[in-house]
Amino acid sequence: MFPLSHMLKRFIQTGRLDVIDADGRRHVFEGTPGRTVVMRLSDRALYRKLVFNPDMSAGEAYTEGTLSFEEGSSLRDFLALFSDNRRGLGSYPLQKFVRKLSGPLRQRRLSNVVGKAQENVAHHYDLGNDFYRLFLDANMLYSCAYFRQESDSLETAQRNKLRLLASKLDLKPGQRVLDIGSGWGDLALYIAAMEEVEVLGVTLSTEQQKLSTERAAAAGLSNRVRFKLLDYRKVTGKFDRIVSVGMFEHVGLSHYDEFFGQINALMPDDGIALLHSIGHMSPPARTSSWLRKYIFPGAYSPSLSEVFSVVERHSLWVADVEVLRLHYAKTLAIWEERFQANRPTVVEMYGERFARMWEFYLLSCETMFRTGAQMVFHLQLCRERTAVPIVRDYTVDTQRRYAAREAEMLPAE
């Protein structure tokens, strides 16, 4: 099983990994006491592929069924064992060389020019609304929830998130709000329900734009909330408030200047912009090659240093930063649980291979947020330092006011 056996001896420093090879032989790799995982490899080509590109090869092999787990072990168990031994893999000489080589290519891979960006979005978000209803909350929010209490349901935590975001916008009656990457419309509709403002949501997903428009009509808000199939770079006019949730990950590193330049151009001097994005707490690194190829083409989660340097070039004030550390891990765990509950339907819709691919996606992402470097950050930006109050108290007061209004206006769970 060489050269994989050579790497696994360095990799497994805690716990035990039993590998049953393509000929049925068992190989044991063991470190200090810890969890035990039994994995079967039914393709000899994996002995090399998992060494030279473990991220891509593991995802592909699990999707195809050539990498599987036995004797009570699961993909979740393996990913936990991987996390326990992350440093062992990172110190393996070949992996260090690959990371060094791939660094300069990071920016070149992340192209999201106009047109290509819509193609990338359609790859993921146009799978069909019925599919996403199988595991998202009732209002179809596909981003990190905010768990104020450990016992919060997904629906409650997503409502918490909307309330938090809206409070940070410091909304005033009569303002114009732009929602970049408006998803299925829930944030735009929430904002309009809480305040007498006009909201324009822009998305590159035809499925999302269609459902969002239908939801605005059903809520009686079509006169104040509109959704367009439009690239954010083609938006014109001025907006008092700009918000973007879960879209910045798709902008692409080479387009950051373009993104923040447009934010600056669309805001008046007293405007506020709020960015909710996945990022990571470590120095700049490459995105998972498997995730970029099969789930989110063109995606990249930045380190804060990559974001701040561009914000500074566009003379924007960073009025506030908040880092959500474990909230997305809990969100993903609930999504995966609901996905598994509806797995037979997923298989019926898209086949077993697709179901395994999405299992790998949801579980690997949960692991990255629970024990890896991934996190979510809120970045509040403005052109003038006086655009927002100088203390955070206003967000707490506003959240309380919105919670009371929700109880009056919005249906209970």
Query: Cα–Cα distance between 75 and 360 in angstroms, integer?
Result: 8
Q: Residue 399 — φ and ψ, nearest 5°?
A: -60, -40
Q: Which residue has the tokens 């395994």?
A: 356
Q: Is 365 a catalytic residue?
A: yes
Of 256, 276, 243, give the one whose Cα is nearest residue 377. Answer: 276
Query: Cα–Cα distance between 316 and 292 in angstroms, integer?
Result: 30
The one catalytic residue in 61, 365, 368, 388 is 365
Written in H, E and C, the secondary structure of the chain is CCCHHHHHHHHCCEEEEEEECCCCCEEEEECEEEEEEEEEECCCCHHHHHHHCHHHHHHHHHHHCCEEECCCCCHHHHHHHHHHCHHHHHCCHHHHHHHHHHHHHHHHHCCCCCCHHHHHHHHHHCCCHHHHCCCCCCCCCCCCCCCCCCCCCHHHHHHHHHHHHHHHCCCCCCCEEEEECCCCCHHHHHHHHHCCCEEEEEECCHHHHHHHHHHHHHCCCCCCEEEEECCHHHCCCCCCEEEEECCHHHCCHHHHHHHHHHHHHHCCCCCEEEEEEEEECCCCCCCCHHHHHHCCCCCCCCEHHHHHHHHHHCCCEEEEEEEECCHHHHHHHHHHHHHHHCHHHHHHHHCHHHHHHHHHHHHHHHHHHHHCCEEEEEEEEECCCCCCCCCCHHHHHHHHHHHHHHHHHCCCC
Looking at the annotation, which residues are catalytic? 365
